[in-house]
Structure 1
Amino acid sequence: MYNEAIKIWREKNREDLLNKFLVKFIYCSNKIKNYEITFSCVEGIFNGEKIDSFKGNKKIIKEIESQKKLCENIFNLSKGDVKLKLSIGVIEQVYYVITGNKLERNLYVSIEKLVKDINSIEINDDNALEAVSYFVCYFQEISNCDGRVVRILLNYILVANHLPPINIFYMDKEKYYLAMDFFIKKIIKLE
């Protein structure tokens, strides 16, 4: 299935694909933890509309506006020919925009090691999903942070390596959590 996405990613206009992807990605990523959000609100934000009809916490609208800007900035990477590497600076920026906080200093050594590990991998069509799965599970285990941070970083890695981003649909959140829990308990703990 991901191979099909790679083929489309290479044949079609990436900017158009990313624009369509971002609305769904930000909606699903937020919907996993927040049932109040609606697709029409997220779509309205992307269309530059003022969202007055939302009855939930207005903070959510501001968060989505910030995520939109952040994702647009980091996904502009797909326009270049050079593969980019993940950095602590990118992680700090994503973490701050999503959580409003700075990374805890005691996490830096572990995160720097993980960044070094992921950057040492030549991410390509054949190993992309394995590489980002490794990153996501280890990062989540190290930081125990907001899942939205992890999902944005996952897609940063893919797009920075000229590969299509992926979406975790909110309907699949139980499978997502079960898979991550399995990986953390069975694989990370064995090392």
Structure 2
Amino acid sequence: MTQHFEPTIRIQREAFDAGDVMRSLRAGRTDIGAVACFEGICRAHNTATQALGEQSVQALELEHYPGMTESSILGMVREAQQRWPLQAATIIHRIGVLLPGDPIVLVAVASAHRHAALEACAFLMDYLKTQAPFWKKETTSQGAQWVDAREADDAALARWGVAATNVGAAPR
């Protein structure tokens, strides 16, 4: 089932355009029958902090470990290639200070068939959310705090038969 291609993996401060990425992923290709895309956007709230009566999120700061992050994401894409017949993949993740409404992450996957593209896209996003070495700090009117990994994200990854290692847990 493995099809070899070199995925595009970018860690960047600049915003991206999901439509441009999807168009370039399939440009000139007649073998691609489906492109699935997920774009994560910075929210003005965090469900966990909102339940505690805290204020809305004013900013989100993302840090990463250069080199290790890209290598980790490449490993995730290689795992997806083992599971589904993929033809292309692009993953873009932003770092730095982001404001509510800013795009954070983009996962775009191409395959000959929709099921493979949709499942691989969901798998990669679940994997990224728990296993990629990114750290998030939220700033609210009550100050800034590191965001811990969520059990719901670990459970989403577990449905693929992968155990979470909490690489993206808040630094100590």
TM-score, structure 1 as length reference:
0.31
Where is the strand percentage greater, Structure 1 or Structure 2?
2
TM-score, structure 2 as length reference:
0.33
Where is the helix percentage greater, Structure 1 or Structure 2?
1
